[in-house]
Chain A
Amino acid sequence: MDSLLARISRGQLWPSPGGVHPPVNKSQSNSLPIHILPLPPRLVLPVKQHIGAQGHLLVNVHEQVLKGQALTKPHANWSVPVHAPTSGRIIDITPMPSAHPSALPELSIIIEPDGEDRWCELVPHPNYRELTAERLVDILHFAGISGMGGAGFPTYIKASTKQQIDVLIINGAECEPYISADDVLMQAHSEEIVRGIEVLRHLLQPKLTLIAIEDDKPKAIAAMEQASANIDDMQVRAIPTKYPSGGEKQLIQILTSKEVPAGGIPADIGVLVQNVGTMYAVQQAVELGKPLIERVVTVTGDTLAEQRNVWALLGTEVKHLLAQQGFTPEPMQRVIMGGPMMGFTLPTVRIPVVKTTNCILAPSAAEMPMPGEERACIRCSACADACPASLLPQQLQWFAKTKEYKKLEEHQLFDCIECGACAYVCPSEIPLVQYYRVAKAEIREQQIEQIKSDRAKERFEARKERLEREQEERRNRHKRPRRSTEQDSQSKEKVAEALARVKRKQADKGDDKTRLPPPLPVRKRKRRANNLSRITVT
């Protein structure tokens, strides 16, 4: 390991398989400074914006909130709070379409800004090194920080890992075309990012910290190199521009030659990856006490008069972002959240910016032509050559089309990171990733169904067994002689006992004449017995 660490720190890079070189299209947006948007008319804050559970609501409708005020409180594991991005009034708390490919409604807090943008009281910790690790992790947790690069994994969980971290990787690769949010953030705020990295280094104590940036961002590389120049064991690494080098797994492979084991996490191999935007948020939270309420978003595409990066408050609707950049929609307009390779199209522009939103792309039809009609797969395996995970995309496609789920799993469908490189190169324009997404969903559904049906089967069999047992018992009871002698004697004893009990009672209550009728005269008793016997005879 140490020799490998030495090679890593000497600057060696390793190849990662596959990858494609789509036109980067970043120059449209990365030359202008980050623009600060005017306050939007309303903010829609989904309560849950990341992997994990949602928090408890702390506010009610009509309540007045201050900028930075916590709106939810984390309660279960992996939940992080959301904060008011500006001061204003809560006008509703209701499910709203979410910033998710499905756009399924999520509980959201809707704020009407009051225009004053008044902060709540902030608690900065410039001397965070004096705090305990738990306290520091709590600060990250309560500042609502989750990964701002992609999946939105809560940062406090990563920051409190118990595993030994040898290499901390700060991901500024930003390999997806069009997106330049991290690029401009590194150019403008390299000092803050490095200070944020220091917070994490303080917590994790890695042996080496690498800031990875693709070599098509010379300005960002220069800025980060300058900011980190005097820090030991922190190096800026320019990596070759290739999509998807910024994928967590691929980046680890390029920088350390190691692979994250299937089903594992980077910490299993002593590596932890954080996005540069997250590091900026960490610095803001710890040193200034500011929770995560805004982020840099690239607003780009040829339908916009001006393409640039903006500071967007979380909850700002895409509509506001586009309108501010002079949006002229075309017929069949697509608005993509994220980049052209992995982003998702929005059903409406009234979707809010969330913690993971790095780009809003509104391309013209000329810029991103509609895909042609799917043709037959000729097994050319251009897709396999492009796959960064060394899968066989064309084999997967055949199995997905014929719904051979077992084969799909054998061919490691679930190791597909859905980067889209295969579909990008396919000469037959087969929407490969779409097939995999559907197949994955179907397999997951099937697994859930399987569990359900297994349970139902278990229940059914248990019931069947019980019914059979009962029937068996009934049958046995039927077959049994009416009374076994043993039972007979037992019941005789019981009868005798009962009689004795009755006699005792009678004896006890003998003096209480008022309640018991007097015993019948002997003759009368006899007559009644005779009557009874007569009746029985006839």
Chain B
Amino acid sequence: MKLNMMSSPYKHSHKSLTGVMLMVALAAVPGILAQCYFFGTGVLIQLVLALVCVTLFEAAVLYMRGRKMWHTLQDGSAWLTGLLLAVSIPPLTPWWVIVIGCFFAIVFVKQLYGGLGGNLFNPAMAGYVLLLVSFPVQMTSWLPPAELMHHQVGLLDELSMIFSNYSQSGYSLEQLRSNVDGITMATPLDTLRTDVSHGLTVAESMVKPVFGETAGIGWLWVNTAYLLGGLLLLQQRVINWHIPVAMLAALSLCASIGYIFDSGNQPGLAFHLLSGATMLGAFFIATDPVSASTTNRGRLIYGAAIGVIVYLIRTFGGYPDAVAFAVLLMNMAVPLIDHYTQPRTYGHGAKS
């Protein structure tokens, strides 16, 4: 009788890479729905565009590299990159922006570094940063929340905006973003930093309608929704607690200290935690396993450093939000962090 020989273990947990990626995508659904609700369904159009682009780019590179195309595509990592990029950009950004972003993220940041697992940088964030520095106008043209908008836009308007820059009724993005007084509305983070730089105090700036109660209409709920998704990921053990907890704790600490010493110019804790990309960053972006630190102690350092950098750039830097920059900066430090935070192996030192 011919027996089959193989190496142990023969049992597997049936946890699969595709399953992990799917779970992350699933956990992002509440956040995406919140974005749709407050900022229109443009994000869904961007999402479809991104998924098509990453699939094509990934498949093309895999073909050129002589890899198994379908087998590798199935791991779902490219789709997750597309998803994260799509939810990070303003919903009515012209179509070519996301195409360029996907191209750079997949071809340069991911595949040229050796494909999944080989990339030093988070592909979605590297793609985002490329777009932000190359097309600053498009990349910061966030719509105000629907309830503040003068002209309401439907799905067809959004399609038309993305592909032809004008809504069906002929409005440009600038017009759509303007309030009744003809002044363009920016995101809460952007508004606040502009106002503070113009000499207003935080309290004076925050009376603007875009802020709502605390962290901005819509943004508060989008962040809460991503927080919920993040908790699901923790509960499902898809991510470890170290990075999000360290990042949020460091950001909170910095924000609190800043608020205590300089409450005139700095918003408080709630604003930092619930505005911008804080929760998306903490649970979905900084936790990208490939580019994050791999030791538990290292993850605490990595997460905390991202929190600090986000605070520093938001408060003193040139950009309103900073999750992407913070993540990329810390990506570079990962090999070093990993080297110095190796856990103590059983039987080495300590107790004897």
Chain A residues within 8 Å of B, Cβ to Cβ: 17, 20, 22, 177, 249, 253, 257-264, 269, 329, 332-336, 338, 340-349, 363, 368-369, 371-373, 375-382, 384-385, 388-392, 394-395, 411-412, 415, 418, 420, 423-429, 431, 433-434, 437
Contacts and interface: CB of A to CB of B under 8 A. Distances in A.
B120 to A, nearest CB: 11
A382 B296 CA distance: 11
Contacts of B290: 378-379
A334 B77 contact: no
B17 A431 contact: no
B5 A347 contact: yes
Contact of A264 (B75, B77, B295, B347): B347
Contacts of B344: 390
B9 interface: yes
Interface of B: 1, 3-13, 15-17, 19-20, 71-72, 75, 77, 115-118, 240, 289-290, 292, 294-296, 338, 342-348, 350-352
Given A259-B352, A269-B352, A380-B20, A341 B347 contact: no
18 contacts: A22-B11, A262-B345, A334-B5, A334-B10, A341-B9, A344-B8, A349-B1, A368-B10, A375-B72, A375-B75, A375-B116, A379-B290, A380-B20, A390-B345, A392-B294, A411-B342, A427-B20, A429-B12
Contacts of B350: 259
A378 B77 contact: yes
A426 B9 CA distance: 11
Nearest to B6: A345
Given A335-B3, A384-B294, A392-B343, A428 B17 contact: yes
Given A342-B8, A427-B15, 16 more contacts: A22-B11, A261-B347, A332-B4, A342-B9, A344-B7, A344-B8, A368-B11, A373-B71, A376-B116, A378-B289, A391-B343, A395-B294, A412-B348, A415-B346, A420-B8, A429-B12
A392 B9 contact: no
A424 B5 contact: no
A185 B125 CA distance: 59
Contacts of A391: 343, 345
Nearest to B68: A373
Q: Pick the 7 closest A-B CB pairs, nearest first.
A: A420-B9, A376-B117, A262-B347, A380-B289, A434-B7, A389-B346, A376-B116
Main secondary structure of the interface of B (DSSP, over half): loop
Contacts of B295: 381, 384, 392
B158 to A, nearest CB: 34
B11 A334 contact: no
A258 to B, nearest CB: 6
Nearest to B291: A379
Given A378-B117, A392-B343, A415-B346, A427 B9 contact: no
Contacts of A263: 347
Contact of B352 (A258, A329, A334, A380): A258
A177 B342 contact: no
Contacts of A368: 10-11
Contacts of B8: 336, 338, 340-344, 418, 420, 433
A345 B1 contact: no
A334 B6 contact: yes
A385 B15 CA distance: 14
Contact of B240 (A22, A333, A375, A385): A385
